[in-house]
Amino acid sequence: MVCKGVTIQFWNAFTGSDGDILREIVDRYNKENKDGITIEMDIMPGATLTEKLAPAIATGNAPAMILAGNMDLVNYAKTNSILSMNDFFDVTKADKSDFAPAALESLQYNGEQMMIPMQWFTQYLYYNKDLFKAAGLDPGTPPATWEEVKEYAEKITDPDKNIYGLGIAVSGAVCWFDSLFLSNGGEILDAANKKSLIDNEANLKSLQFIQDLVKKGYATKGTTGADLDNIMMADQLGMVVNGPWMVAGLKENKINFGVAVLPAGSAGTVGIAETTGFAIPDGTSDEEKAAAYKFIEYWNTTEIGKEWSMRNGFPPYLNSVANDPEVKANELVSVFSAISEYGQAFGAGLSSAASINTDVLFPMVENIIAGNDCQEELTKASTEIDRLLGTE
């Protein structure tokens, strides 16, 4: 496939500070690649990308390349919205053996490689070391359990200074509550039998734990992920659960922060592991696909993989990056690499996985934060999960 001098569109939802780094890398590729390929990148909120993609495909105006999460994969594949990338390792110089098998497998559907990894991650606890110190806490010792999170949040909270101990997102953020449920021994769903399991005693206690934090004023109320980013950057938030992309913004704003693995519950530590992958929308020409493959091959070199890990802290999925001495010695990357120890997939093989989190679980958490009855919200969420699973 010939792709010299081709210009392609690239859509993604990297609206955070990591998007600035991504743009740098894309701009560098545009200047340095020997094929005259130009990538025009359009960054937009995830919901906007999803809304725009289907009509763009239908009218032949879709980009040649997008970034999507593994929880979006099944829906895209089932609706034929993206093309198979099964030939990627045959037509490029990318070394398949350098990829962590789990990263590749998370982007497969019915035995086909539908997307190629761009990054993988789980969730972590960020904390403000200055606020820890001001509250009499050791800035070198983050909370090890969710109960300690509550204790620390109480000490950090200072209403007179608009300082909250813990940030709790009700939308536009990582699904931190899944990790809380699972770490406390709760279950969410049975993917194999397509059945909700969320209405259980362990999850009820977890919801009551969240509600109590908010009632006592130790945690934020009604805040989105973007709100929490702003509060954290303003030195007014003690702790928050987020992904690796928060690092660049904290550094830019000179926040004295630490990162730790997620707190443990009664059943240990659990984090939802996610993979972001490159996908080729349906309708992309062979020439555009070849140009996209060139960039995806470039991205999956040791050089770029190392840069992404070192600048953002993302754990490497390429063995050559994971074994690099500088990467291994990096404190942030070391913490983020805990994905291999406690990361678990959510809703693998389900087209409704993303909707369950976005349209059912986030609203459930928002409602209990607003003061609704925890058991009633669990029962309602369970019914809605069963409805969504019934459409699979």
- Residue 6's pLDDT is what? 95
Of 135 and 47, more confident: 135
CA angle in degrees (0–180, nearest 5) for 190-117-312: 105
Task: Summarize pLDDT for 109-118 with one digit per residue, the tens.
Answer: 988 999 999 9
In a domain, 1, yes or no: no
Helix (H, G, I), strand (E, B) or coil at 218: coil
Asked if residue 377 and residue 252 are part of one domain, the reply reads yes
- Residue 339's pLDDT is what? 77
Q: Residue 46's pLDDT band (boundaries 50, 70, 90)? A: confident
What's the CATH number where 256 sits? 3.40.190.10
In a domain, 2, yes or no: no
Asked if residue 222 and residue 258 are part of one domain, the reply reads yes
In a domain, 347, yes or no: no
- Residue 1's pLDDT is what? 56
Residues 14-42 have a mean pLDDT of: 94
The answer, yes or no, to whether residue 344 has pLDDT greater than 60, is yes
Q: Residue 173's pLDDT band (boundaries 50, 70, 90)? A: confident
Contact indicator for 328, 322 with CB cutoff of 8 Å? yes
Any idea which of 124-128, 188-192, 235-239 has the lowest mean pLDDT? 188-192
Asked if residue 300 and residue 252 are part of one domain, the reply reads no
Q: Residue 86's pLDDT band (boundaries 50, 70, 90)? A: very high
Q: How far apart are CA 259 and CA 271, in angstroms?
A: 14
Q: How far apart are CA 298 and CA 319, in angstroms?
A: 16
Q: What does the block give as tokens for 320? A: 């050559």
Task: Summarize pLDDT for 308-341 with one digit per residue, the tens.
Answer: 999 888 899 999 999 999 998 988 888 888 777 7
Mean predicted lDDT score pLDDT of the chain: 93
Residue written as token pair 């500088």? 326
Residue written as token pair 């555009």? 288
The answer, yes or no, to whether residue 279 has pLDDT greater than 80, is yes
Asked if residue 240 and residue 161 are part of one domain, the reply reads yes
Write out the residue range of the structural domain in which residue 140 sits: 124-272+352-389
Q: What count of other Cβ atoms lies within 10 Å of the Cβ of residue 251?
A: 15
The number of domains in the chain is: 2
3-state helix/strand/coil string of 349-367: CCCCHHHHHHHHHHHHHHH
Asked if residue 211 and residue 155 are part of one domain, the reply reads yes
User: Given 316, 340, 364, which residue is the final one in a domain?
Assistant: 340
166, 228, 334 from 159: Cα distances, Å? 13, 16, 35
- Residue 134's pLDDT is what? 97
Asked if residue 101 and residue 83 are part of one domain, the reply reads yes
- Residue 271's pLDDT is what? 87
- Residue 150's pLDDT is what? 97
* Helix, strand, coil fractions of the chain, as percent rounded to 5: 45, 20, 35
Asked if residue 213 and residue 299 are part of one domain, the reply reads no
Contact indicator for 249, 229 with CB cutoff of 8 Å? yes
Alpha helices, H only, 167-252: 176-183, 201-215, 225-233, 246-252
Asked if residue 147 and residue 295 are part of one domain, the reply reads no
Q: What does the block give as tokens for 380? A: 């309602």
Q: Residue 41's pLDDT band (boundaries 50, 70, 90)? A: very high
Asked if residue 150 and residue 59 are part of one domain, the reply reads no
- Residue 2's pLDDT is what? 57
The answer, yes or no, to whether residue 16 has pLDDT greater than 90, is no
Asked if residue 300 and residue 283 are part of one domain, the reply reads yes
- Residue 89's pLDDT is what? 97
Q: Residue 26's pLDDT band (boundaries 50, 70, 90)? A: very high
In a domain, 360, yes or no: yes
Asked if residue 379 and residue 314 are part of one domain, the reply reads no
Task: Summarize pLDDT for 70-81 with one digit per residue, the tens.
Answer: 988 988 998 999
Q: How far apart are CA 284 and CA 61, in angstroms?
A: 9
Q: What does the block give as tokens for 368? A: 């209990």
